[in-house]
Amino acid sequence: GRCLASSLRDEPGTQRTMEAFAAKNSIILIAHLKMADKEGKGLMTEDVFLQTVATVGPKFNREALKKVLDEHKIARSPDGVFSYETLMDQITHGSCPETVDNDKRLAEILKLLTSKLDRSQIPAFRVAMASLQLTEPAQGILKKTGGSMSAEDFQKRFPEAWKSSRTVSELLQDAKKNLDKASEEKKAMTPIICPSVLSSDFARLAEECKRMIELGADWLHMDVMDGHFVPNLTIGAPVIKSLRKHTKSCLDCHLMVSNPAQWIDDFKKAGADTFCFHLEAVEEPDKLLDKLDKLGLKAGIALKPDTPVDAVFPYCKRLHHVLIMTVEPGFGGQSFMWWTMPKVAAIRAKFPGLNIQVDGGVKTHTIDACSKAGANVIVSGSGIFGKAKPGDVIKAMKDSVSAYQAS
């Protein structure tokens, strides 16, 4: 049969877009479909399918989808329920020559990432994810291919990049050792939910923060942007100082600034509990960590999506937490970058007792991916503040982290 893209030729304006999308992004689409499949049965309605596809690619209408389903002879119920797994399997492994480039190993990893796992599978999953974490220049190439792939396939397809990439086997070996140690210790990390107050009503900031804590939140995440390191300008130490008068809860300060050392004293005096700076913004992280230790501030280091995970390894034993950005910092409205999850898995494998924070696009349909990879500190803005029942969201996120941390 023909591929999804060529099946949409009758719909004006979508042919080229959908051809490129179906050929190059089917693995990403499968991952999002599995995340949207709450029951994990491989079934969904036409409306949910269309909505999910629209989050990662072009929009197309129900009539176009029906034509695709008919052509691939995919049965559907009277209320529009069909097997999206069967459809995507035909699209990915069908007769479309453009789609044969999809990496089967990655598809298997993504299936683990986006479906329910038995607890006994979690350690093996984290090792597998850790083994896929490569350093520059592999990161840029992997991003273009839609994610990660097996070490063997990467070496064959990109031999020059492989030469200047870290040997995956070393990381995998370290991960296995640490997972064995973690298994012996049987230490489960505490779930910590951090509503990002940047999404709150700033006219009622103290009230909003109090409400979040009463609903079960643990920390209050403060996004500090200077307009230089990232384009946006947000809050600073004066806001932290004012808010400190109204809450005893942890004020978790994430500084997206060009010169974090400049602000340490101000944030300490303002009453900040944590001080998380970006590794990309400093040349000598140890000096900042020394000062944070001296002042009694809990130190964190944040990594942008493209920063190799092993860049933070030398400092992890000194940290209160590591923050893995799952979107580009400083920009709103971005989709969750699932391909950053190997970073989380790599850190959890190597440092089983470290708090791992994720920030960006984390909502109820992406929390399981974070929990499975090993994150226990969850930042969510609109995913909590934008919901009618934020307390239910907070509980669901805690339950997800607890379920996988206990494994």
Catalytic residues: 223, 359
- How far is 103 from 99, CA to CA, in rounded Å? 10
Q: Tokens 């470290």, residue?
A: 354
Q: What angle do CA 228, 201, 302 make, to 5 degrees?
A: 40
d(C-alpha 319, C-alpha 271), whole Å? 19
Which amino acid makes up residue 338?
W
Q: Which of 394, 389, 373, 375 is nearest to 122 (CA)?
A: 373
CA pair distance 97, 23, nearest whole angstrom: 9
DSSP assignment of 252-285, as one string? EEEEE-S-GGGGHHHHHHHT-SEEEEEGGG-S-H
Q: Is residue 167 classed as helix, strand or coil in its secondary structure?
A: coil
Encode burial over 85-107: b for 16+ CB neighbours within 10 A, e otherwise.
bbbbebbbeeebeebeebbebbb
Partners of residue 277 on adjacent β-strands? 255, 301
At 308, list the tokens: 């190799």
Which of 383, 222, 400 is closest to 300 using CA atoms?
Answer: 222
The one-character DSSP state at 136 is T
Burial class (CB in 10 A: 0-12, 13-18, 19+), 120: exposed
Packed helices 26-36 and 46-56: angle between N→C axes, nearest 10 degrees: 130
User: d(Cα 89, Cα 84) in Å, to the nearest integer?
Assistant: 8
Number of Cβ atoms within 10 Å of the Cβ of 402: 16
